[in-house]
């Protein structure tokens, strides 16, 4: 019992400040604002922008090591950002205070050193999403309904043609294009209907989801696997419903909605890798992730119990998410593959990430034993624990000589789930922890 309690305390020590999930960690980072943050956009791992209330835009050019407040010359809430490259970008600020009410669009050609405002020409339209496919051709969506395009770099905007189904003219919250021909948009209204629109002719005509397949609440974001396979994230925060995902495999002709059993609403959706998806659940103060392209999900707490609403992964190694009261969290992929060490202290022992991971039934774990006096062998074992600190398995127990060694873990008797493992040295009666814990995912 004493060993188990020491392990559990150590596990909490590692997880609390920098939670380790999906072979990486999320951690809170300081930024020069406490405003509510509504949008985050990175063009690559170094250059990124975050926008929020009261005209806030902050910028990094060094991968988030430093953040600088930019001068937007507005006090309007900025709700969305989009950049084509490190210099050319757009933002939408919402004017609720001075008639005519509506949207003031911001544009920069120098990475945000200067933002140039222009009033969207239609009043009482509030733009919530921006997508440019090149310097001239772009799309925007908004409330109470806007699905508009430009072919002249934003000088003029034209409302798209939408079919006349009952769900055609709801708010638009997200727009994605797979190529010049196929595109999708999503949106809806809380407790009324979630809507997805599709186009197969470059946006000349959009078709809304059939009402019989529409969820009861907004679809906040989309991910396009290809022109036929698409999924969207949303949900109903009311008790008993929760996060939901909607999918099509036939280009939007039919849709299937799945409730995940996680309380809250998924306000965004992004894939770190082709198989690993993440979504923030806002006031529920959780993130959910999937390692099987979004069919099964695991909920994890956010760092510092922050409310997170938007996220992005500029590549598989870096991720950013933002939310309430200046909350900015960063994902760093620390343990990916067998060459990533999990060290602790100065003992010299190194534990490598298990492989394969995720795995089914059996996985291999490598570790390195440091050089010892006279090259003596060391008694070592690898212990496996549940996320609550209960030990469920152990391999090793024999002596290992200095150098890289490997053990095979047979987990066929364990149920699927998330497990932690660490390297211990010494006799079975009083082994000493030598490495920080690694995480493994057992699937069937």
Helix/strand/coil (H/E/C) assignment for every residue in the chain: CHHHHHHHHHHHHHHCCCCEECCEEEEECCCCCCCCEEEEEECCCCCEEEEECCCEEEEECCCCCCCEECCCCCCCEEEEEEECCCCCEEEEEEECCCCCCEEEEEEECCCCCCCEEEECCCCCCEEEEEEECCCCCEEEEEECCEEEEECCCCCCCEECEECCCCCCCCCEEEEEECCCCCEEEEEEECCCEEEEEEECCCCCEEEECCHHHCCCCCEEEEEECCCCCEEEEEEECCCCCEEEEEEECCCCCCCEEEECCCCCCCCCCEECCCCCEEEECECCCEEEEECCCCCCCEEEECHHHCCEEEEEEEECCEEEEEEHHHCEEEEECCCCCCCCEECCCCCCCEEECCECCCECCEEEEEEEECCCHHHCCEEEEEEEEECCCCEEEEEEEEEECCEEEEEEEECCCCCCEEEEEEEEECCCCCCEECCCCEEEEECC
Whether 71 and 144 map to the same domain: the answer is yes
**Is residue 196 within 8 Å of 208, Cβ to Cβ?**
yes
Whether 361 and 398 map to the same domain: the answer is yes
Structure tokens at 28: 């809170």
Give me the residues paired with residue 351 across strands: 342, 367
How many Å apart are CA 377 and CA 371, to the nearest integer? 9
User: 10 Å Cβ neighbour count for 21?
Assistant: 18
pTM: 0.74
Whether 243 and 378 map to the same domain: the answer is no
Whether 196 and 293 map to the same domain: the answer is yes
How many Å apart are CA 145 and CA 124, to the nearest integer? 10
Whether 252 and 293 map to the same domain: the answer is yes
State the pLDDT at residue 10.
46
How many Å apart are CA 351 and CA 358, to the nearest integer? 17
Residue with structure tokens 């003596």?
A: 376
Q: Per residue in 4-61, pLDDT tens?
A: 444 444 444 444 444 444 456 788 999 999 999 999 999 998 999 999 999 999 999 9
Quick check: is 5 in a domain?
no
Q: Which residues of 329-341 are buried (b: 16+ CB within 10 A; e: fewer)?
A: bbbebbbeebeeb
Q: Which residues contact 380 (CB under 8 A, 6 or more apart)?
A: 367, 369, 396, 397, 398, 399, 400, 405, 423, 424, 425, 434
Whether 171 and 243 map to the same domain: the answer is yes
**Is residue 106 within 8 Å of 72, Cβ to Cβ?**
yes
The domain that holds 428 is classified in CATH as 2.60.40.1930
Is the preceding omega at residue 144 within 30 degrees of 0, hence cis? Answer: yes
State the pLDDT at residue 154.
97
Domain total for the chain?
2
Quick check: is 64 in a domain?
yes
Whether 203 and 349 map to the same domain: the answer is no
Whether 110 and 83 map to the same domain: the answer is yes
Q: Which residues contact 151 (CB under 8 A, 6 or more apart)?
A: 136, 137
- Domain end among 332, 354, 385: 332
Whether 364 and 311 map to the same domain: the answer is no
Note down the domain range covering 184: 23-332
Whether 95 and 178 map to the same domain: the answer is yes
State the pLDDT at residue 436.
76
User: Which residues of the chain, if any, have pLDDT below 70?
Assistant: 1-24, 334-347, 374, 427-430
State the pLDDT at residue 164.
92
State the pLDDT at residue 17.
40
- Domain end among 284, 301, 332: 332
Residue 385: C-alpha distances to residues 131, 335, 352 (Å): 45, 18, 17
The domain that holds 61 is classified in CATH as 2.130.10.10
State the pLDDT at residue 344.
54
Quick check: is 17 in a domain?
no
Burial class (CB in 10 A: 0-12, 13-18, 19+), 444: exposed
Quick check: is 82 in a domain?
yes
Whether 250 and 349 map to the same domain: the answer is no
Quick check: is 438 in a domain?
yes
Quick check: is 7 in a domain?
no
Quick check: is 304 in a domain?
yes
Length in residues, the chain: 444
- Domain end among 301, 332, 363: 332
Whether 261 and 350 map to the same domain: the answer is no
Quick check: is 14 in a domain?
no
Tell me the pairing of strands 172-177 and 183-189: antiparallel
- Residue 226 CA to chain centroid, in angstroms? 20
R_g of the chain, CA atoms, integer Å: 25
Q: Which residues contact 315 (CB under 8 A, 6 or more apart)?
A: 44, 45
């Amino acid at each position: 019992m004493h060993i188990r309690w020491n392990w559990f305390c150590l596990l909490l020590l590692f997880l609390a400040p920098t939670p380790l999930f999906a072979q990486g960690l999320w951690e809170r980072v300081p930024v020069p604002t406490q405003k509510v943050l509504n949008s985050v956009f990175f063009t690559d791992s170094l250059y990124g922008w975050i926008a929020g209330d009261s005209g806030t835009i902050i910028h990094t050019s060094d991968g988030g090591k430093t953040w600088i407040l930019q001068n937007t010359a507005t006090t309007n809430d900025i709700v969305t950002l989009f950049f084509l490259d490190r210099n050319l970008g757009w933002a939408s600020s919402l004017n609720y205070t001075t008639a005519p009410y509506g949207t003031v669009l911001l544009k920069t050609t120098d990475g945000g050193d200067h933002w140039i405002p222009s009033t969207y020409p239609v009043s009482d339209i509030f733009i919530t999403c921006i997508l440019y496919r090149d310097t001239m051709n772009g799309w925007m969506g908004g409330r109470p309904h806007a699905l508009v395009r430009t072919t002249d770099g934003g000088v003029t905007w034209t409302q798209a043609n939408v079919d006349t189904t009952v769900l055609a003219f709801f708010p638009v919250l997200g727009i994605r294009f797979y190529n010049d021909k196929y595109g999708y948009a999503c949106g809806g209204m809380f407790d009324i209907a979630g809507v997805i629109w599709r186009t197969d002719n470059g946006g000349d005509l959009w078709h809304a989801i059939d009402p019989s397949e529409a969820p009861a609440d907004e679809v906040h974001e989309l991910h396009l696997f290809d022109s036929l396979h698409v999924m969207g994230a949303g949900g109903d925060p009311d008790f008993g419903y929760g996060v939901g995902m909607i999918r099509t495999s036939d280009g939007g002709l039919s849709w299937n909605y799945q409730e995940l059993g996680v309380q809250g609403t998924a306000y965004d959706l992004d894939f770190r890798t082709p198989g690993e998806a993440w979504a923030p659940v806002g006031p529920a103060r959780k993130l959910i992730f999937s390692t099987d392209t979004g069919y099964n999900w695991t909920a994890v707490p956010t760092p510092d119990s922050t409310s997170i609403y938007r996220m992005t992964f500029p590549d598989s190694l870096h991720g950013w998410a933002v939310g309430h009261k200046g909350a900015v969290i960063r994902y760093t992929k620390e343990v990916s593959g067998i060459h990533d060490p999990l060290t602790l202290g100065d003992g010299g022992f190194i534990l490598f990430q298990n492989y394969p991971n995720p795995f089914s039934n059996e996985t291999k774990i490598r570790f390195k034993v440091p050089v010892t006096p006279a090259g003596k062998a060391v008694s070592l074992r690898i212990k496996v624990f549940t996320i609550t600190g209960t030990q469920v398995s152990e391999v090793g127990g024999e002596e290992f000589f200095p150098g890289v060694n490997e053990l095979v873990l047979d987990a066929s008797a364990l149920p699927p789930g998330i497990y932690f493992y660490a390297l211990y040295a010494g006799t079975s009666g009083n082994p000493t922890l030598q490495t920080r814990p690694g995480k493994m995912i057992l699937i069937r």
